[in-house]
Amino acid sequence: MRTRPTLSWTASGPPLPRTTRLDEVVELVDRGGVLVLSGAGLSTESGIPDYRGAAGSLRKHTPMTYGEFVADPDARRRYWARSHVGWRTIARAAPNAGHRAVTALHARGHLTGVITQNVDGLHQAAGTPDVVELHGGLDRVVCLSCREPTPREDLDRRLAEANPDFSAEAAPINPDGDVDLDDTAVADFRVVACRTCDGVLKPDVVFFGENVPRPRVDLCNALVDAAASVLVLGSSLTVMSGLRFIRRAATTATPVAIINQGETRGDQHATHRVDLPLGHALTELRSRLSA
């Protein structure tokens, strides 16, 4: 059974107090045992916008849902045409100061692990080891019939060969690797099938309305249970796939610190709430812990 996608939430009651000071977070991270849960806000400084911030893509873009992708060949054609354009931006994106700071904190022994809701691979590109990709990664493709995984670069070459005259220009990228293109620009786009079984290919990411694989959820739960604290970076925690780990931490009184611009759905479970841009905040955090 697949869940209905949650694209937004409405806060109940007045906003909880937030601060722009990192003193308490510095103390928390300095004690070690920190599990990081990162979201799209961490990648905005790499040129990939988030979903729900001030310029979030949900203001004008509805993400592809699993049900639509599976059921509608025209929806798959539109998705792959737009994603073929968007992949160029994802593939060229470079880690920013926030990603590099997380890597440094991990190398110094402050972190026990990193769970990311992002599908852009920038934590790994920055050198952070053993990242759990909660929602998968855009650098991989999987067949829905035989489940064979293949690199995204291979599919990109095949799509280019199948569509030699396709010349749509890149529009602003969305966190799922999609871009907004007019239907007329994608009307003649040709989608390719799995080389092994001729099945439907899908990016190896969890679409809205699709469940995170159970073994991955179990791994994340174990990481939460083993952590001394949880540090949320750049996530509104709107979708349950990430929020459930914050709720889990709260049930055992595990401290939760959130650094994000704006309110989050998990604020009531947080012991520390900091409102700062991630690049600035994590650079300062790294610097103060180094000192």
Q: Give the tokens for residue 192.
A: 């390719």
* Burial (Cβ within 10 Å: 0-12, 13-18, ≥19) of residue 246: buried
Exposure letters 206-228 (e unless 16+ CB within 10 A, then b)? bbbbbebeeebeeebeebbeebe
Active-site residue 269, yes or no?
no
Catalytic residue from among 99, 106, 123, 135: 135
DSSP reduced 3-state for 12: coil
Cα dist from 90 to 35, 40, 165, whole Å: 26, 13, 22
Dist CA 38 CA 17 (whole Å): 21
Phi/psi of residue 285, nearest 5 degrees:
-60, -45
DSSP reduced 3-state for 78: helix
Dist CA 120 CA 44 (whole Å): 11
Q: Give the tokens for residue 53.
A: 């911030």
CA 181 from centroid of its chain's CA atoms? 22
- Reading across the β-sheet that carries 149-151, which strands appear in turn? 149-151, 136-143, 201-205
Q: Which residues participate in catalysis according to the annotation?
A: 135
